[in-house]
Amino acid sequence: MHRKTTLYIDIDDTIIAQVLPGSGFDLRPCVITHLTVLGHMYDCCWLTSWPYIDPIIPGTAVSVATLIRSLYGASINETFRYADWDRDHPDGKAGFVLRHEAPEDWYWLEDPILKGEEVALAAAGKLDRYIPVEPFGPWGFLDAINELFERTAKTDADIKQAGGRLEWFDRNALESDR
């Protein structure tokens, strides 16, 4: 059986970002649609500092599960895994993606990583598996997804087979619909 490529996805400055200059943080355009299709194409895993479930002490943080559920993305909660990574690891999140028992075939969508994480990925020969997400503006996540499709040789037919439409991943089409 063919195993899907693992896709690690961050939240802050990746799917939620300062979309407009000087604004607060907003969900980037079409994120739930994009995540739903990615969940059909890849073995998706949240790699974030957010807790997966609501903390024991109410009001201390919002969880990934609550965020996605409140955005009508319950099916995403059912298909995405959650990375329980060591926040004190000297290589940060890179320590998780490079761990001994990690899948060999993976990619990581994340806003600019720390220098130590970049050094760790480069030393392991895996820097090409990290796809930077521009932390500002509306299209950073979509641009990273399109880079992912290119690196993993996904075709238009693959997007359609996953239940997607090509225009959902076309920045020009999305901008013209506004």
* Structural domain boundaries in the chain: 6-176
CA dist 131 → 49, 53, 66, 74, 146 (Å): 18, 26, 26, 26, 10
Q: Are strands 6-9 and 16-17 parallel, antiparallel or unpaired?
A: unpaired
How much is the average pLDDT of 105-129?
97
Residue 59: pLDDT over 80: no
Tokens of residue 151, six digits: 């690196």
Residue 58 pLDDT level (bands cut at 50, 70, 90): low
How much is the average pLDDT of 64-69?
90
Q: Quick one: pLDDT at residue 60?
A: 59
Amino acid letter, residue 155 = T
Tens digit of each residue's pLDDT (9 = 90 or more) over 4-33: 999 999 999 999 999 999 889 999 999 999
Residue 55: pLDDT over 80: no
Whether domain 6-176 has CATH 3.40.50: yes
CA-CA distance, 88 to 60, in Å (whole number)? Answer: 20
